[in-house]
Amino acid sequence: MGILFQVELSFMPIPDILQWIDMNRLTCVVAITRESDSGITFYLENGKLVLAGSQKKGLQFGQFLAASGVLSEVQVFQALTESKSKGISLTRYLVETSLVSSNVLADIMSDLVEKLLLDLLSNNAGSVTITTPLPEILAGGPISLETGRVIFNAVRIYNEQNRDSQQRDEAIEAINKRLYNEDFQLPVLPGMLMQLISLMEDERTTVQEMVKLIMTDQVLISRILKVANSAFYSASGQVDSIHYAIVRLGMREVLNIVTGIQVLSMQNRDIPQEKFQAILDGALKTAFLASGLARQLREDPEEAFLGGLLLDLGKTVILSVAKDFEIDESLFDELMHSRHAEIGAMIARKWNYPESIQNLIRYHHNRNFGDIVNKMIALLQIADQAVRSPSGKEIDPDLLGSLGLPLEAVMEVHSKAMDSFNQIKSM
């Protein structure tokens, strides 16, 4: 057994720990020990929760399963005995013998994990040890919970339980319910962009095929060329055709430019145009700046661009849902801050962007995971801060230090990024 990580919960809360594991798709065991002897253990495979339990009475998985009423205590005991004799996990035995379906098991496990997380959120005393490997008996089992979603739900419930009663107005509850139930419309990708993404998914796609599609939109051609010739891409030389732009910048870089242009032109009648446009403008500025910083740090500029572009798009959904309610501004700001990242990840998933992009959006407000810095998230935070503070005064010096970035370098990239943004806005 190898120890990956040890930390006190008072220093690194359990949501941060599990998010770090999810981000890095680790397969491991997370054991929390407490003075009360009510230890808690989470088992994860490739970042997904596969089993959890506690030493506290009623919170071992078998006990919790019996309490749910799906099986009796006798049936659970028999299943435990049989699974041990066969050398397989209880969950696998229950599914293979058709005693309980995998969907029902997943729901019960989700409820158990939620209770355990609420316990840890309300009392953050304890030590955490993360070890490998995962017990072989649990590998490839029938349960695989989305860690980010489970954390999101637990934190939501915890916040609702602890919010001051005076702040529990009907509007916030109604909005929370709609967001939790996903009772909203996610933005739809413009048709041209969907066609381009579809082309890019085919490894056999040629430059000429991409040129042919873009050439059907003369306004788009003009905008692409203006951006390609901006200071941001000046090292690439003069670009005077779409074909040359793709050859010099690359197909994915041109796709990013088109994505930015198309997102900037999106419409939403449910949101005041000024607020909606401010979010879109900030998204494109952050995208260009994050991409430029990624080049300096030798990180993936395409991933940084998409991360920056989608960073705050979840806010447009919340604004749309909240349009029919009158709520206190401070409460609305709290709601916006706490929910937009998860909804932004949903947008990325709907637009068929990879899980790495979805996780960037979902966890982009994480300062770091303990003392482990995620470079891509850190540079997205710097880009976001620089867009909000063009003077650079509000950029966190600790973040700059963690990446070895001098403020002057950030501001130089900021200037070039704003030039590209202005080229698009001027059309």
350 and 228, same domain (yes or no): yes
Check residue 165 and give its pLDDT: 46
pLDDT digit string (tens) for 401-424? 989 999 999 999 999 889 888 877
Q: Is residue 154 part of a domain?
A: yes
110 and 254, same domain (yes or no): no
Q: The whole model's pTM is what? A: 0.66
Q: What's the rounded Cα separation, in Å, for the pair 216 and 227?
A: 18
The CATH number that applies at residue 364 is 1.10.3210.10
205 and 121, same domain (yes or no): no
Q: Is residue 127 part of a domain?
A: yes
Q: Is residue 179 part of a domain?
A: no
Check residue 372 and give its pLDDT: 58
Domain with 266 in it: 191-425
Last residue of one domain, picked from the residues 162, 180, 201 = 162
Task: Provide the number of structural domains found in the chain.
Answer: 2
Q: Per DSSP, what are the bridge partners of residue 52?
A: 42
69 and 141, same domain (yes or no): yes
Which sign, positive or negative, has the C-alpha torsion 214, 218, 220, 223?
Answer: positive
- Is 149 a residue whose pLDDT tops 60? yes
332 and 218, same domain (yes or no): yes
- Report the 3 state secondary structure along the chain: CEEEEEEECCCCCHHHHHHHHHHHCCCEEEEEECCCCCCEEEEEECCEEEEEEECCCCCCHHHHHHHCCCCCHHHHHHHHHHHHHHCCCHHHHHHHCCCCCHHHHHHHHHHHHHHHHHHHHHCCCCEEEEEECCCHHHCCCCCCECHHHHHHHHHHHHHHHHCCHHHCCHHHHHHHHHHHCCCCCCCCCCHHHHHHHHHHCCCCCCHHHHHHHHCCCHHHHHHHHHHHCCHHHHHHCCCCCHHHHHHHHCHHHHHHHHHHHHHHCCCCCCCCHHHHHHHHHHHHHHHHHHHHHHHHHCCCHHHHHHHHHHCCCHHHHHHHHHCCCCCCHHHHHHHHHHHHHHHHHHHHHHCCCCHHHHHHHHCCCCCCECCECCHHHHHHHHHHHHHHCCCCCCCCHHHHHHHCCCHHHHHHHHHHHHHHHHHHHCC
Q: Is residue 410 part of a domain?
A: yes
352: left (phi over 0), alpha (psi -120 to 50) or beta: left
CA distances from 31 to 3, 5, 50 (A): 11, 11, 14
Q: Is residue 169 part of a domain?
A: no
110 and 149, same domain (yes or no): yes
CB atoms within 10 A of CB 311: 27
CA distances from 272 to 67, 116, 160, 365 (A): 49, 41, 28, 26
Check residue 241 and give its pLDDT: 86
Last residue of one domain, picked from the residues 121, 145, 162 = 162
Q: Is residue 170 part of a domain?
A: no
248 and 344, same domain (yes or no): yes
pLDDT digit string (tens) for 219-253? 888 888 888 887 777 655 678 888 888 888 888 88
pLDDT digit string (tens) for 155-168? 888 887 776 545 55
242 and 358, same domain (yes or no): yes
238 and 92, same domain (yes or no): no
pLDDT digit string (tens) for 165-214? 455 567 777 787 888 787 878 887 777 788 888 888 788 888 898 888 88
Helix axes 375-388, 273-297, angle to 10 degrees: 130
Q: Is residue 329 part of a domain?
A: yes
- Is 369 a residue whose pLDDT tops 60? no
214 and 82, same domain (yes or no): no
153 and 208, same domain (yes or no): no
Check residue 118 and give its pLDDT: 92
| Residues sharing a CB contact under 8 Å with residue 331, sequence separation 6 or more, in sequence order | 167, 169, 172
146 and 215, same domain (yes or no): no
Q: Is residue 53 part of a domain?
A: yes
